[in-house]
Structure 1
Amino acid sequence: MTDSLPDPDSKDSAIVSMFNSLVELVSPEKKKVIDEDASLLDQSLSLAKEFFERQAAGGISLITSSDCADDVVALKNKSVCLKLNLGRLQALAGSKVHFIIDGTDVGSGSTQDSGEALMDYMAADAGCFHMDFSIESKIGIQVSDVRSNEDVLLHVLDRKPVVCVDARLITEQSAACDQQLFTMAEKGFDILYVDFGKKDRTDDIRQIRKERSLPLGAIVPLTARIRQFETFDVDFQQTFLSLTVNRLRAKGAPVVGFITESELDQQNVFPNVRIISPNETMDAESLQQLETNTRNFLLERDLFRKDSKNDIEWRLDQLVKGRWIPNNKCHVELDNKRARTSLFKAIDEANIRVDLQFYIFKESRFTHELGMHLAKAANRGVQVRLMVDALYSRENFLGSWNSFLRQIKKVNRIHILAADPLPLSSEWDTLSLRQRDHRKIAIIDNTIAFVGGRNAADEYYYSWSEVPISDWTTSDYIPWLDAHVELRGAAVQTVQTLFNDTWKRNRGADFPPIQRDRDQAKEKSIGSRVRLVVHDGISDANGLAAYEALIGGAKKTLFLVNDFPVIDDIAELLIHAVKRGVSVTFITGSVQARRADGSFFKGGIHRELFEYVTKSRLGMLSQAGVKVVEFQTKVLENIATVEGKVRPYVHAKLVTADGRYASIGSANLDISASYWEREANIVIEDPSVVSALDLQLCDFVKDGVVLDTNSLEWRREAPQREVVSKLWPDTFLN
C-alpha cells in the first residue's frame, strides 16, 4: 500500500479509522502494517472478532442491562419506542437487537452509529412485563443473549390510577412511604418510582424493591439530565419533574398523585396532580378522591380520543400552559423582503403605540431604515417602546452601550430598554449569562402582532435577490432563511400582555393599556385558533413541551425547519415518529454558507465548527429515516457562483404537523431554547393556513439538497464532525 491517501469512495477508506482503533484496542504491540494479501475490511473484522472473543473468554458480557437499558413506561394499545444502548464500539459486533418481553421475541431494531437500537412496539395488555435482549451478530462471532435477570421492566398503563413516588423516600428513608404504596397497590393503583437525584440509583431501587417486597413498577430516572446541568449551580429538578409527570399525562396515563417530601410549587409543577406527603394516611376518603380524579381524567381523555385529530390538542393541554384563542387571521412569512415591507407598513400606519422586542439589535442597513420609520411614527405622536437583550445587543452590558440605539433614543417618544441588564457594578453568574430573553416580537396598536425568529439586522430582513453574491462574498453577508407569523385578532392581546409583563419586569416606565375597539372585539367566528406558548427560562420547559406535543401527536406528516443542534428529547421523538409511519422532513441549512457544490464561503471558524456539530446530529436522524434537506436558493441573476445558487444558514424555527398545526416563533430545537432562554412561539390550528405553508416547504425540499450520509461531501467532513461533536458537550449546544 502506498503512502498516498486512499480514494474517499473506496470501501477501504470507510474503515481505516476503525481498523487503526481496533489494532490499538486488541494488539497495541502490533504495528499498523497492512497485510498486502488481505483487505482492510477483512483485517478489521478479524480484529473485532478477536477482541470480542477475548471479552467472552474472560467472562465479560458484551453489555450489562443496568448500564444500557432503562425501564419503559407505555400505554395500552399505544405505540412506544423500545431502546437499548450498546455503545458505539460494542455496536460493531451486533447488527440487530432483539427485544424479548416475558420470554417472547417481539421484534428487533438495527443498531445506529450512536450505538442505540430502537424498535416501535404496541402492547395489547396492561401490567408489568420483564424485558430481555439478544444481539444478532454481524461479524461471525457468537454473542450470548443479554439477560436482564428480570430487572428491566416494560410497564404498560391503562385505566388504573397512577401515583408517582419520589425514589429518595425509598433509598434514603427506610420504609418512609412503604405502607402508602402497599395500600395503593392493594386498591389496584399503578406505582412509578421517579428518581431525580444527582446519582443514578436504579440498581439500588431495584434491589430495595425486592428486599422490601414493594409494589412492582417502572423506575423513571432523571439522573442523566440532572447531571448535565449540575455544574451550572442551577436547580432544574422541579422543571424536569414537571416535564416528566406532564409527559405521562400527555400520553394518556392517569397520573393523579405524587408522593414526596420536597416543597413543590404545585400550581407551576403539575396543577392537576395531588402532592402527597409520605406521612399522610391514605384513608378511604383520600383513595376515593384519587379514584374520582382518575375517572374525570379518563372521561376527558376518551372524549378527545374519539377523533385522532385531537391528539395534538390533548397533548398541548397537558404539557403547556395557556389556552386556545379563536377567530384570528394568521400569515406565515418566509420571505425576508416581504417581512421587512409588512413590518414597516404596519409601523407607518400606527396611531397609538409601536412595541418592539429583539434579541440582537446591531447597526445595519435594516436598523437604519427601521430607525427612520420609528422616528417618523414618533414625530406624529406615536409612542415607541424598543426592548433589546442587554448581552446580545450590547446595551447596558458591563458598562457598554449600543451607540446606534443611543442615537435613536434621542428622538422624542422613543423609549429604549435593556432586557436583563448586566451593569458593570453587578455580580453575574452562569444564570445571568445563559437565561437571556430570546424573543422577537412586534405589536402595533394592540391590533397587529409579529412573532418569529427575526432579529434586527440585514441577514434577517433582506432577501438573496437583493444582495450581490460572488465567490469572494463572506458568509456573514449572505441573507438567512427566517420566519415570522403576522397575527390579527383576539390573540394579539396575549402577545401584548407578554410584552407589557417583560417591560415591567425590566423596570420600564408605565404606559396606559391600549383598549381594543368594539369592532375588533366582535371578530367573526372564522379564521385560525391560536395559542401563545411562553417559555420563561429555567422555571419551565414550555417551548420544548409544545414541540413534543406536535411531534408526539403527529399521525401523517411532520415538517421541521431549523439549523441548531437537535436536543436528544426531540431527536428520539422524531425517530419514533418515523418508526410509527409518520413522514418526517427536516429542512436545515449551513451555519456557514456553502456554494451549490458544497464548498464553504469564507467565514468565521466558529460558524464552521458549529456547522459540524449541527450536521452530526442531523446525520443520525437521516440514518434513522428522517428526510433531511439542506435549503438552497433558486437560481438568481445576482448570484455569480457555481450554478447561481447558495446554501445559506436557516434561522427559522418552524414545525408543522399533519397539515393542521404549525408552530412559529423564537424557540430553536436545541438545549438553550428548551431550558435556558426566554422564548415565545405561536401555535396555529388551521388546515388552510398550514396546508399552504406545507406547500411552500415542499418547494424548499424540491430545490434543496438531500443529506446523503453515503455521499463524498458527507464522508469528506466526517473527521471534523467526529472531533467537534466530542469536544462540544451537549449542555453547551447553543
Structure 2
Amino acid sequence: MFQRLLLLFDAGSAPAPVLTAARHLAPAPESIHLYGLAPERSELETHPPPSLTVLAHLQDATRDWPVRAGVSHQLETHLDIGAFIQTATRLGSDLVIVGPLLGTSPRARVGVILALAIRERMHVLSVGAHCPETQAPGNRIGITVAPDGRGLGSVAAFLTGYARPVELIALTSEASPDRAGELQTLSRALGIAETPRIESLLEGRTGRAEAFDSAALRCGADLLLAPTDAVDDLRALSIGLFGARAMQEAHVPTLLLPRTLPASSLIEERYAVSDSLVLPGLEPRFAVEGVGFLSNVSVPEPGELRVFEGGAPLGAARHQGGTAALPSSWFSHVRGERALAFAFTGDAARDLAPCHVVAPERPLLLLDSALDRAPLEAAFSMMGEVAHLVFVRLRDSEPLDMHRERLRRSLPGLGRPLLLDASAWLDDARAEDVPRQVDAQRLLRVATRLVAGGARIIAVVTRDEHKPRSPFIRTLTPDELLLLPGGPVPEPLPVPEEPSPFFRELALAGGGVCLGGHAIDFELDNARARESVIAAIESARSSVHWQCYIVEDDAVTARFTEALKRAASRGVRVRLLADALYSGYGSFGAMNPALVALSETPNIEVRAIAPLTGMPSLAELKQRNHRKVTLIDTERAFISGRNMGAPYYTGFDEVPLRRTSSYREVPWLDCGARLAGPLVPVLESAFLAEWTRAGGQPYPVPSATPVGTLSARLVLHEGLTDTHTLDTQLALIRHARSRLVIVNTFPLLLELRDALVAALQRGVRVEVLFGSVRPHYGQGIHFPGGALREVADWYVRSRLDEVIAAGGVAYEFAMPPAPAWEPELERVFPHVHAKLLVCDTAAVALGSANLDVTAAYWESEAMLVVHDTPFAERMLSALEPLLAGSHRIDREDGQWRADAGHRAWVGRNWPSLIG
C-alpha cells in the first residue's frame, strides 16, 4: 500500500517498535529514507554516539526487508520542522513514521505530525515509547471516530487499499441518538465489530489522546487509525497543547490519515445518499447530494464513489446529475436490509455517506415523505408489521437528513426510515422543469417503475388533494388511509401478464392492452388527411363524433362544418366536443362562430370541455383536454395531432407564399392515423366519458370485429390523474436498441431529454426532426409577425443541445420551393406540429401527446402505439425524404453558436408552468 517511507528517529528511540509498526503497514516498500536526529554527533569521538548506533540497528534490520530501490539516510542535529517537511515533500513520501523522539519536545514532535497530516495531507504513523517490539498475531484496528461519523471517508479509502483482513473497532465519545444511528449504519457497512464509547473524553480536553490510546490497548488493537478530517483546527491545537506527551508515550501505534476536507466545519460540504431497493428487474438507484452551509442542497459534480457493505468494498461507480445507478450484481447476496457506506473520491476521499438497501421480503407501502404525522402513524400502526414502509422524497428543497429526522420524530418506534428519492428512480433531472402541483403523479410513477422491476406494492399514499390513479396500483389520500377498515391489510393489485419485459412495461405505463385485428394507416400530407376525413364524414351512416382542442374559424374549418351539416341532414347523429378555453367556446363569454353555427343545426350537438368563468385556478387553466379524435359509426377512427383549421389541414403546395405572407399562412407538418378494428370502441368509450362529463347524454357503444392483421394499443392519459403517455414514450425510448426517430417541436421534458442521452450512450441512433415555431425562409429571414414565437424556438432548441452534444442528430424541418411560392423564398422552414416516435422497427407512437411537461402531466392526451414492423418501416420510409431535405444542425455552425447564449438564457428562465 505504502511505497516510499520516511522514518524520523533519534538517539533515545528503541528501533524495534518503529520497525515493527513500519513493516506492518509496508511489508515491501520501494524505498526507505532514515532521518536521524543526532545532537551529540562528533566525528572526533572514538566511540560512535547513540544516534549512530540506532542508525546502524535500523540499517541492519532493513537488510532482510525487501526494499526495491534501497535505503538512504541522513543525520541532523535537531528537529527543524520546515526542513523535515521539505525532505518529505522532495522524496514524495507516502508514509512518514515518527518514532518516540524522547530527546525532543513532545509538542515539537506532535507539531510535525499534525503539520504533515493536516497541512501537507500525508499519512503519518506515530510510534509511542511503549509500542510493542513485535507484531501481534491478530490484525485488529481501532478507529477514532467523531460522533457524527466524520472522518470515516478517509478510513474507507484506507481500507480499500489495505488487502489484509482486519477486525475493526470504532472508538468514539457519546453521541446523540440520531448521530449514533448514522454511526451504527456506517459501522455495519464498514464491518466494524463494535463501537466502544470513551466516557473520559467528556471530562475535558486533557485526557483525549490518552483516553483513545488506553481504549485501543484495552480492546486489543495493534493499530489505531486517526482520520484528521474529524479534527478541526481547535482540536488540533488542543492535541498539540495537551495530548503531545500522551502520543509520545502511547502503547498503540497511531496512523494519522491526512485531511481531505476543508478545514472549517462551518462551511464544509458533506454528502448524503438516499436509500434504495434491490429488485430483480432494476438497478438499485440512489440520490447523491451535497449539503452545505445552512443545509442547502446541491447536485455534486460528476465523480466516482466507492460502496462498502459488510466490511468489503463492493466496487467503484460513477455518479452523475445527482444519481448513482449501481450494478444489480453487487447486491445479489442481499436479503432483507443491509447497511451501505458511500465514499466519494476525486482529488481525495470524502466523508462517508450512510444509507440502507433493502431486498423486499414483504410488500411495500409507498408514502410521500412529507405526509403529516397522523397518516404516518396510521400507516405504521396498520401496516408496519406486514409491509415495508418506504418513504419517497419528491423534492430536494430539503436534505435527505432532514426528511429522515422528521420521520424519526413522527414515528419513534420505526427505527431508521427507508427513504427513496423520486428523481433517482425517474431520472427527471431533479424535477427542475416539473411543477410541485404534479408531485402526486410523480409518486405514482415511482411506484410504477418499482412494480415494473418486480416490487409488490399494497398502496401509494399521497399528501395531495387530487390523487393519481392506476389500474394496477392502489392509491390513497391521507383521509382514505385514516378511514381504512381495521380488517386484514389489502393485497397488492394484480399486474398484467405480458410476453416480454418490454410489453409488461408498456402495459404498466399506459394501462392499454395490445390487441390484434386492426387496419391502420398514417398520413403526413395535410391535404390528403383533410380529404380523407371529409370523405369519411360523407360516408357516415349513423354517427360522427369529433373531439378537438382548437377549432379555428377559417376556410378549412368551413369545409369540415359543411360536411358535418350534410351528414346531419342525412340523419347522422353528430356530436362535437371542443376545449372551451382554446377553442374559445363557452369560456369567459367567448363563443366560436363556427361552433355556434354547428350547434344551431338539427342533429348536431356541440359541447364545451371544462368551460372557465371568474378567476380560474392554475389546475383549471392547465388541465385541458388535448385529444384530437374523429369517430365514424364506431367502426373507423382518426387519431391525430391535427386540430380543426388551416395550419393542420392545408398542403404546402396549396398556399401561394410570398415574402410578405403572414407567418400564420405557412402550413405545419402534422401526422395522424386512420384506425379500424377492436380499439375503435375503446376510443369511442373515452369520447363518451368526456361527452357525459361535459353534460351530454350517454349512448350505447357497440363492439367491433377484427378487420386487419396489425397489433396496436391505445394509450389514454388524463391530466393530473396519470402520466400514461409520458411513461409510454419513456418505455419506448428505454427499450430502443438501434434507432429512435422523434418528430416534434415542443420543448423536451428534461426526463425525456436525459432518456434520449442515455439511449445514445448505449449505442442507439437518435434523430429528431423539429420545426420553427416562428417560420422563416431562405437564410433565416422570418415571415412577418409572431416575433415572440422566436423565444419559443430558442427554448425548444435549448432542450436539444445536450442531445446533440451526446451524438444525437437533429434536423430543422425545411420544405423545398413549391410552384405556387415566390422564387425568392428558396426553402421554407415551417412549424412541426406532429407528435411521432418510432422505436427501431418495433413500434410507432403517434397521436396528440407532445414531449413536453404540459402533455406529460397537465393535459389529457390520446396516443396510438402500433406494434408492426412493416408499418414502422413504411413510416421510416416516409420520413426519410423529410429528413434528407431538412437542415441538419451542425454544432459548429456560426448561427447555431451565435444563438447559444439566447438558448441557454431562455432554457434557464422559461417558466416550467408554461410548458
Partner deviation per Cα, 1:384-413 (whole Å, 9 max, x = no partner): 222211111111121121123323444332
The equivalent residue for 1:338 is 528
Partner deviation per Cα, 1:658-694 (whole Å, 9 max, x = no partner): 3122221111111111121121112222222122212
The equivalent residue for 2:682 is 494
Q: Helix, strand or coil for the counterpart of 1:709?
A: coil
Report the TM-score when normalising by structure 2: 0.61
- Change in Cα spacing, 1:201 to 1:277, as seen in structure 2 (3 Å) is farther
| Alpha-carbon distance, 1:360 to partner | 0.9
Tell whether 2:622 aligns with 1:431.
Answer: no
* Matched residue type, 2:700: P
The equivalent residue for 1:49 is none
Q: Distance in 2 between matches of 1:157 and 1:636?
A: 63
Q: Helix, strand or coil for the counterpart of 2:306?
A: strand
Tell whether 2:856 aligns with 1:674.
Answer: yes
Q: Distance in 2 between matches of 1:453 and 1:403?
A: 23
The equivalent residue for 2:551 is 361
Partner deviation per Cα, 1:23-79 (whole Å, 9 max, x = no partner): xxxxxxxxxxxxxxxxxxxxxxxxxxxxxxxx957678886434xx65565645756
The equivalent residue for 1:456 is 644
Partner deviation per Cα, 1:160-201 (whole Å, 9 max, x = no partner): 7545355357978998766888856xxxx8663223589635
Q: Distance in 2 between matches of 1:610 and 1:281?
A: 51
Q: Helix, strand or coil for the counterpart of 1:469?
A: coil
The equivalent residue for 2:271 is 65
Q: Helix, strand or coil for the counterpart of 2:799?
A: helix
Q: Distance in 2 between matches of 1:712 and 1:192?
A: 51
Aligned positions of 1:28-177 closer than 5 A: 64-66=270-272, 75-76=279-280, 78=282, 97-102=303-308, 103=313, 106-108=316-318, 116=321, 122-124=327-329, 125-126=331-332, 127=334, 130=340, 132=342, 143-151=347-355, 155=357, 161-167=363-369
Q: Which has the higher contact order (CA 8 A, sep 6+)?
A: 1
The equivalent residue for 1:620 is 802
- Change in Cα spacing, 1:267 to 1:572, as seen in structure 2 (3 Å) is closer
- Change in Cα spacing, 1:391 to 1:346, as seen in structure 2 (3 Å) is same
- Change in Cα spacing, 1:541 to 1:118, as seen in structure 2 (3 Å) is closer
| Alpha-carbon distance, 1:722 to partner | 2.5
Q: Distance in 2 between matches of 1:79 and 1:237?
A: 23
Q: Helix, strand or coil for the counterpart of 1:532?
A: strand
Q: Distance in 1 between matches of 2:574 and 2:475?
A: 46
- Change in Cα spacing, 1:731 to 1:101, as seen in structure 2 (3 Å) is farther
- Change in Cα spacing, 1:159 to 1:349, as seen in structure 2 (3 Å) is farther
Q: 2:469, 2:475 within 8 Å by CA — same for their partners in 1?
A: no
Match of 1:242 among 419, 444, 461: 444
The equivalent residue for 1:382 is 572
Q: Distance in 2 between matches of 1:459 and 1:503?
A: 26
Tell whether 2:390 aligns with 1:192.
Answer: yes
Aligned positions of 1:314-329 closer than 5 A: 314-329=504-519
Tell whether 2:659 aligns with 1:471.
Answer: yes
Q: Distance in 2 between matches of 1:86 and 1:713?
A: 37
Aligned positions of 1:277-356 closer than 5 A: 304=499, 310-356=500-546
Q: 1:467, 1:638 within 8 Å by CA — same for their partners in 2?
A: yes
The equivalent residue for 2:253 is none
Q: Helix, strand or coil for the counterpart of 1:438?
A: coil
Tell whether 2:873 aligns with 1:691.
Answer: yes
Q: Helix, strand or coil for the counterpart of 2:516?
A: strand
Which of 1 and 2 has greater Rg?
A: 2
Q: Helix, strand or coil for the counterpart of 1:732?
A: coil
The equivalent residue for 2:743 is 561
The equivalent residue for 2:83 is none
Match of 2:843 among 658, 661, 681: 661
Query: Can you give the 5+ residue segments of structure 1 that lack an aligned partner in the other structure?
Result: 1-54, 88-92, 137-142, 305-309
Q: 2:538, 2:567 within 8 Å by CA — same for their partners in 1?
A: yes
* Matched residue type, 2:448: N
| Alpha-carbon distance, 1:602 to partner | 3.2
Report the TM-score when normalising by structure 1: 0.75
* Matched residue type, 1:167: S
Q: Using the aligned pairs only, state the percent identity.
A: 25
- Change in Cα spacing, 1:374 to 1:174, as seen in structure 2 (3 Å) is closer
The equivalent residue for 2:421 is 220
Q: Helix, strand or coil for the counterpart of 1:363?
A: coil
Query: Can you give the 5+ residue segments of structure 2 that lack an aligned partner in the other structure?
Result: 1-260, 292-298, 425-429
Tell whether 2:610 aligns with 1:406.
Answer: no
* Matched residue type, 1:443: L
The equivalent residue for 1:12 is none
- Change in Cα spacing, 1:505 to 1:692, as seen in structure 2 (3 Å) is same
Q: Helix, strand or coil for the counterpart of 1:345?
A: helix
Q: Helix, strand or coil for the counterpart of 1:392?
A: coil
The equivalent residue for 2:732 is 550
